[in-house]
Amino acid sequence: MNENEKGMDAELMDFDMDGLCRAIAESSPMPMVALEIGTHKVKYANPAFCALLGKGRNELVGHTFPGAAQGQDACLALLDRVSKTGKVEIHTGLEDSPAHPFYWSYAVWPIFAADGAIGGVMIQAIETSPFHRQVTAMNRELILSATVQHPLMDDADAFNRKLQAEVAERQRVYAALEESEERFRLLYNALPVGAFVCDREGLIQNYNLRAVELWGREPKLGIDRFSGALALFLMDGTKLANTDNPMNKVLRTGAPERNIEMLKERPDGSRLPVIVSYVALKNSDGAVSGVIITFDDISDRLRAEKEARDIGQKYNLLAESMSQKIFTTKANGELDYVNRQWFNYSGKVYEDFEGWGWKQLIHPEDIGFTMREWLLSIETGAPFEVVHRFRRWDGQFRWHLTRAQALRNGSGKISMWLGSNTDIQDQKELEAELRWANDDLRQFAFAASHDLLEPLRTLSNYSQLLVRGIPGPLSSEAETCINFITESAARMRTLLTDLLAYTEAGADRGAEAELIDLNRVFQSVKGDLALVISENEAVVTSGVLPTICGHEARLVQLFQNLIGNAIKYRGERAPVIHIEAARQGRDWLFTVTDNGLGIDAQHFEKIFGVFTRLHGKAIPGTGIGLAICQRIVERYGGKIWVESQVGQRTIFYFTLPIEEESIDG
């Protein structure tokens, strides 16, 4: 130790070493605890240690150290060994505390009383996950330095025992001081936070390794200031005014300034977000002699906070901009959020919904089953789904579909419920209308097939009776008139029958679809049309047709109408009609080609309409055939269309879905 260093030591002694140590211990993020020898009673515990155990300082100080109290042999042995040997011991095993699943190492130091006797031990815990190696190495140095005996002054004046004693005493103090400082320096550098010690002028006197790392360079002792040449900024980016500098406040008042967030500009111009605490160093007379500054990088935390905020904002924006009504509840079912759509719908404010307030909006008849289902879901965690009515701002109750899903935390416990309410009033009304319309149609079809035909039959029969001269002969004019009546009645009957067939073609009478071999259907239709085919000397052929899933009667009707039409609308030539089927994606594409009259392109779409006819009475028909074909094809999810050249040929195309098994096969 040279003279200069001795001078500094002396100054440090004046400097209130105890105060400094205490300030460091108090602001250290590392848990530290001092115990009395033998009793293992806690003499001192720093805030980090209290936080680690989750206890107040007064719950710890004066009480037996928890590790010792629990009779942990290893712990007791360690404490006793240090008390006896006065040597620092490092417990390097990895400790996994259940409350804090981190790895820690413990350093146990002797505390020397003024008379040089060991008065107690200090335990310091260090989180070793990231620093384990570094700390272990440093602790080894500490062991070495602590065990080095300061050389005694062998050349002391044997005659001046008193002086010798004084020198010895002084030497012992130096030795203790040296040890103390070494310990302090080790602790200082092992701190996971940056630390500076500044003098009354704010000039940096001391710094640790982490401080260099965070700052970006080594500070010049006695020249640099923490808040000086390298500027500090508030979190919003504005420069920290000198008068607002916490350093000045602490120097002035002596009261600590803790956990202040600001931006520290680094030598490369980047700004590091840091959290800073200032604690005053005081002389033995209580005067502020300097400030110890600890600071840490909080960019990770800020980033995480920002991400959480961004996600929160996104979800909020999403929930508020959705047209659907959204709500969340606590795990116990108490509502704690509804989006804006609910306020618009109900004309109420959040407080009206909160907790169980929303019940007032439910139709009185629906409250019973709604609550029953909701409480059941809360109890079991099963998804909630109910159709019920909510009162709108104007008093109208509208049907809603409400669904809610439990959200669970990592351990599977329900943390909240998230739900939506969809207004299905319009849908319900449409469904009802559709049901009525279908009922009407069915009634109409029944009327058409029975009630309407009844008078027509009588009309027809009696007209014929008159023609036959009952009760007397009729003039030929009257006969003509009556013939018109008869013909009209017959036509009316045909129209009604066809219309009935058309409605039947699209109706689902509950008959199951089956696998139908269209080759068989084709042969059967050819058989039915045998007379017409031979009369017209028509040639009707087909390629290999597939088997599809459908209803035989409908498919027969489809083929019969298309082949029948091809013959009916024949040209001068004998009809030649051919049916083919080919795969096209997931469908069969059918073509029915003929060499008949052909259809003008302007009628390509019109011909599929109900009762649409392009020909006069020369060719009989009601114009329902292709409408029925379209209805059948669409019933199976297919399409039908036509291409034609007048006088040349007509090709009807239609698609039917490929039967799944035949795809695989």
Partner 1 sequence: MDSSSGGQPYRILLLEDSAADTYLFRQALKNTGLKHDLTVIDDGEKGLDFAKRQGDYAAIAVPDLAVLDLNLPKAGGAAVLAAMRQHPELVGVPVIILSSSDAPSDKERTQELGAARYITKPMNLADYLRIGDQVKELLLESRAALERGA
Of 70-78, 300-308, 456-464, 605-613, which part binds partner 1 (CB under 8 A)?
456-464
CB of 629 to partner 1, least distance (A): 24
Rounded to 5°, the CA angle 628-517-644 comes to: 45
Binding residues for partner 1, rule CB under 8 A, total 15
Among 210, 347, 226, smallest CA distance to 278 is for 226
Nearest CB to partner 1, comparing residues 231 and 441: 441
User: Is the bond preceding residue 471 a cis peptide, omega within 30 degrees?
Assistant: yes
Q: Which stretch binds partner 1 (CB under 8 A): 381-389, 447-455, 530-538, 581-589?
A: 447-455
Q: Give the shortest CB-470-to-partner 1 separation in angstroms.
A: 8
Pick the binder of partner 1 from 11, 268, 379, 454 (CB under 8 A): 454
Interface residue with partner 1 among 235, 367, 465, 553 (CB under 8 A) is: 465
CB of 451 to partner 1, least distance (A): 9
Question: Do the beta carbons of residue 521 and residue 556 sit within 8 Å?
Answer: yes
Distance of CA 254 to CAs 32, 251, 294, Å?
A: 24, 6, 16
Q: Which is nearer to partner 1, 460 or 561 (CB)?
A: 460
Q: Which is nearer to partner 1, 277 or 460 (CB)?
A: 460
Stretch in the footprint of partner 1 (CB under 8 A) among 362-370, 406-414, 450-458, 626-634: 450-458
For 300-450, strand residue ranges (E) read 325-330, 335-338, 384-391, 397-408, 414-423
For residues 378-437, which are near partner 1 according to CB under 8 A? none
Min dist CB 450 to partner 1, Å, is 6
Tokens of 397: 């109750």
CB of 493 to partner 1, least distance (A): 6
* Amino acid at the residue 227: S
Query: Which of 425, 464, 503, 547 is close enough to bind partner 1 by CB under 8 A?
Result: 464
User: How far, in Å, CA of 273 to CA of 264, rounded?
Assistant: 6
Sheet with 325-330: list strands edge to edge. Answer: 335-338, 325-330, 414-423, 397-408, 384-391
Q: Which residue has the tokens 């469908």?
A: 587
Euclidean distance between CA atoms 588 and 518, whole angstroms: 12
- Residue closer to partner 1, measured from CB, 412 or 471: 471
Q: Is 652 exposed, middle or buried (0-12, 13-18, 19+ CB in 10 A)?
A: buried
- How far is 545 from 563, CA to CA, in rounded Å? 15
Q: How far is the CB of 463 from partner 1 (least distance, A)?
A: 8
For residues 621 and 632, give the distance between their C-alpha atoms in angstroms, rounded to a whole number: 19
Contact 326, 338 (CB under 8 A): yes
Q: What are phi and psi of 452, to 5 degrees?
A: -70, -30
Applying CB under 8 A, which part among 434-442, 462-470, 517-525, 606-614 lies near partner 1?
462-470
Q: Looking at 137-145, 177-185, 332-340, 451-459, which segment touches partner 1 (CB under 8 A)?
A: 451-459
Residues 358, 352: Cα–Cα separation, whole Å: 7
460 is an interface residue for partner 1 by CB under 8 A: yes
- d(CA 182, CA 263) in angstroms, rounded, equals 32
Minimum distance of partner 1 from residue 637's CB (angstroms): 29
Q: How far is the CB of 514 from partner 1 (least distance, A)?
A: 19
Span 488-507, contacts to partner 1 by CB under 8 A: 489-490, 493
Between 471 and 527, name the residue whose CB sits nearer to partner 1: 471
Name the residue type at position 142. L
Min CB(468)–partner 1 separation in Å: 7
Which span sits near partner 1 by CB under 8 A: 78-86, 303-311, 361-369, 458-466?
458-466
CA-closest candidate to residue 570, choices 529, 516, 611, 608: 529
The interface mask with partner 1, positions 468-487, x = CB under 8 A, is x-------------------
- Written as six digits, the tokens of 124 are 């310091």
622 makes contact with partner 1 (CB under 8 A): no
Using CB under 8 A as the binding rule, whether residue 450 contacts partner 1 is answered as yes
Binding site for partner 1 (CB under 8 A): 450, 453-454, 456-458, 460-462, 464-465, 468, 489-490, 493
